[in-house]
Amino acid sequence: MREALKAFTTQFAPLSDEDFNRYADLFRLVNVRRLDHLFREGDNVNKLYYVNTGVLRGYYLKEGVEHTCNFFFSPYMMTDLFSVRDNVPTLMNVQAIKDSECYEVDFAEIEELAFQNPDLLKVFFKMYEHLFRLSIKRQISFIYDTPTERYVNLFKERPNVIAEIPQHYIASFLGIQPETLSRIRKRIF
């Protein structure tokens, strides 16, 4: 886990070995079996999660319908920032699509360490910037792109989603019905 976490972290900013070890020592193993949840709507989330192996899906439940918002492939860092920051129950559900090995750290602990370490603070700033850009890109896509264009872009940018995620989850992620996705796929391929 440590080598993978180090490679993931250094893509945002380098850390000295000492700083990295203090950071990595805070993480604790959490195994999530296929179809189990890392957390569910109504939970108070106060952890930051590093996905070391496996795949998870984030979704919201509205009137009995699941709306997929993201797929978390290793290596990845995630949480529900609204729940963490506002100290409110989460609305998000995070479910393992495959058996997954995650590591959790108390958000307050990692934040305290980051505030003491400018290099670690830079890592998190760059990571948040990256995630913010992805979020804005997704919003823009829902405004300007057709469902077919969204699917083609997903195929180009995240082929692992197309290869490893069940079609009904992909349809939900694209904001369309599974039948519509099936028609799009028949037209393209």
63-72 tens-digit pLDDT: 999 999 999 9
Q: Rounded to the nearest 5 degrees, what angle is found at the Cα of 165, between the Cα atoms of 163 and 170?
A: 110
Alpha-carbon torsion angle 64, 138, 95, 29, nearest 10: -150
- List alpha helices for the chain, DSSP H: 2-10, 17-24, 81-86, 107-116, 118-144, 147-157, 159-164, 167-174, 178-188
Question: What's the pLDDT score for residue 44?
Answer: 97
Closest CA to 23 of 119, 128, 130: 119
d(C-alpha 90, C-alpha 42), whole Å:
5
At 156, list the tokens.
């180009």
Residue 91 lies in a domain: yes
Question: What's the pLDDT score for residue 39?
Answer: 98
Q: What is the distance in angstroms between the CA of the first residue and the CA of the last residue of the chain? A: 38
37-59 pLDDT, tens digit per residue, is: 999 999 999 999 999 999 999 99
Range of the domain at 74: 2-116
Residue 154 lies in a domain: no
Question: What's the pLDDT score for residue 113?
Answer: 96
| Per-residue pLDDT of the chain in tens (189 residues, 90 and over written 9) | 999 999 999 999 999 999 999 999 999 999 999 999 999 999 999 999 999 999 999 999 999 999 999 999 999 999 999 999 999 999 999 999 999 999 999 999 999 999 999 999 999 999 999 999 999 999 999 999 999 999 999 999 999 998 899 999 999 999 999 999 999 999 987
- Main-chain phi, psi angles of 97, to 5 degrees: -85, -30
Sole residue written with tokens 């893509």: 11
Domain count, the chain: 1
Query: Dihedral sign, CA of 158, 159, 164, 169?
Result: positive
Residue 22 sits in a domain whose CATH number is 2.60.120.10
Residue 158 lies in a domain: no
d(C-alpha 120, C-alpha 97), whole Å:
30
Residue 173 lies in a domain: no
Residue 99 lies in a domain: yes
Residue 76 lies in a domain: yes
Question: What's the pLDDT score for residue 189?
Answer: 75
Q: Please give the model's pTM, rounded to 2 decimal places.
A: 0.92
Cβ 36 vs Cβ 107: under 8 Å: no
Question: What's the pLDDT score for residue 14?
Answer: 94
d(C-alpha 134, C-alpha 27), whole Å:
25
Give, to the nearest 10 degrees, the angle between helix 147-157 and helix 118-144: 150
d(C-alpha 38, C-alpha 99), whole Å:
11
Residue 112 lies in a domain: yes
Question: What's the pLDDT score for residue 188?
Answer: 84
